[in-house]
Structure 1
Amino acid sequence: MPAPESVGVSEVLRLRAEPLTQAAFAPFGDVIEPAAASRHYPINAGSAERFHDVMRIDTGTADGHTVLSLVFGQPVTLPARLRLLERHPLGSQSWLPLDGQRFLIVVAPAGEQWALADVRVFVSDGRQGVNYARGVWHHPLLSLGEAPGRYVVVDRDGPGDNCEERPLPRVVELVI
């Protein structure tokens, strides 16, 4: 894992994104890609191939149910400045790019507290999605590119407060 590097004597912490892989992202959830499938097999009379069970959706807490949404995300300009992380304590949340849009994934371990030293940054190649495990801290969408990105989001809807935000203790700047 690339270590965070301090920039000058300012209060800005600069984090560098690392490639998104199953092994590196495992503490935070699942990478959604064909390699994650528990098995794959032909379907629809051989005209398609199913990559089965690439993630586990966790939405059953407190009478919740699974919803699928579309999100259109404006691209960020790098270096991007981060000021908060959020988590979903009642269920997982998945992001899948529809148009090959690359995006940055900023995460910290689940739990009540996290340290800046524990924050990691990954970059999706545009064919990979992520499934944040329940309670994993993450930054809101950071879409890359020139045009807005379209994403499918699979998460929990229902009673209870399923989004908690915490400000970062100082400004963090992301680079690729």
Structure 2
Amino acid sequence: MDRLLSIEPLSAAAFAPFGEVIAAGAALQRFAINGGTTERLHALARARADDGDVVISLALAQARQFPFEISMLERHPKGSQAFIPLDQRPYIIVVASAPTHQPHAFLATQGEGINFRAGTWHHPLIALQDSSQFLIVDRDGPGNNCDEIALQPSWWLTGIDAG
């Protein structure tokens, strides 16, 4: 059975059950720093790590081919995980409140990043263009911090315009 996911634009309100949107428009606090030459958009997301360190990594992602099958989800129970695009390329985020619930698909554009809350079920990175670069902020430490589950039946993403 084919189950199709519709993709909605990424917004702070729609993504709130799963984490935070990292974008200028999502800033609740703004103030001047560096002698007034810089505006700080403060605390767009809160990185969390139980029992380990918060690390910063770089991901070089290749484009996915569409239609694209969503056949698994993963979660990181011991810490949050943020993806911040470095090259303004669009990408898709797929999240679910539980593996048995219908996933939500969001299209991130214009440099929007996201921060998954610890324990949020999500699909791995879905880049729409080759060599998309992402800054990753997540946990590194002892113990298992990645649970994966197969989805039966799968969901499908179709009709994507990679821009």
**TM range, normalised to the smaller chain?**
over 0.9
Q: Whole-Å Cα distance in 2 between the matches of residues 171 and 108 of structure 1?
A: 13
Question: Over aligned residue pairs, what C-alpha RMSD do you find?
Answer: 1.3
> Is residue 151 from structure 1 mapped to residue 134 from structure 2 by the alignment?
yes
Q: Whole-Å Cα distance in 1 between the matches of residues 59 and 121 of structure 2?
A: 20
In structure 2, the residue matched to 1:174 is 157
The one-letter code sitting in structure 1 at the alignment partner of 2:148 is E
Q: Kindly report which structure 2 residues correspond to 1:44-83, keeping only aligned pairs within 5 A, or say none.
A: 44-59=34-49, 61=50, 63-83=51-71
TM-score (norm 1): 0.86
The one-letter code sitting in structure 2 at the alignment partner of 1:149 is S
Aligned residues: 159
In structure 2, the residue matched to 1:121 is 105
In structure 2, the residue matched to 1:142 is 126
> Is residue 106 from structure 1 mapped to residue 94 from structure 2 by the alignment?
yes
How far does residue 116 in structure 1 lie from its aligned partner after superposition? 4.2
TM-score (norm 2): 0.92
In structure 2, the residue matched to 1:85 is 73
The one-letter code sitting in structure 2 at the alignment partner of 1:30 is E
The one-letter code sitting in structure 1 at the alignment partner of 2:144 is D
What residue ranges of structure 2 are gaps of 5+ in the alignment?
Answer: none
Structure 1 outlier segments of 4+, above 4 Å: none
In structure 1, the residue matched to 2:29 is 39
In structure 1, the residue matched to 2:20 is 30
Q: Whole-Å Cα distance in 2 between the matches of residues 93 and 35 of structure 1?
A: 20
What residue ranges of structure 1 are gaps of 5+ in the alignment?
Answer: 1-10
Q: Does the Cα contact within 8 Å between 1:42 and 1:48 map onto a contact in 2?
A: yes
Q: Whole-Å Cα distance in 2 between the matches of residues 15 and 23 of structure 1?
A: 19
How far does residue 58 in structure 1 lie from its aligned partner after superposition? 1.0
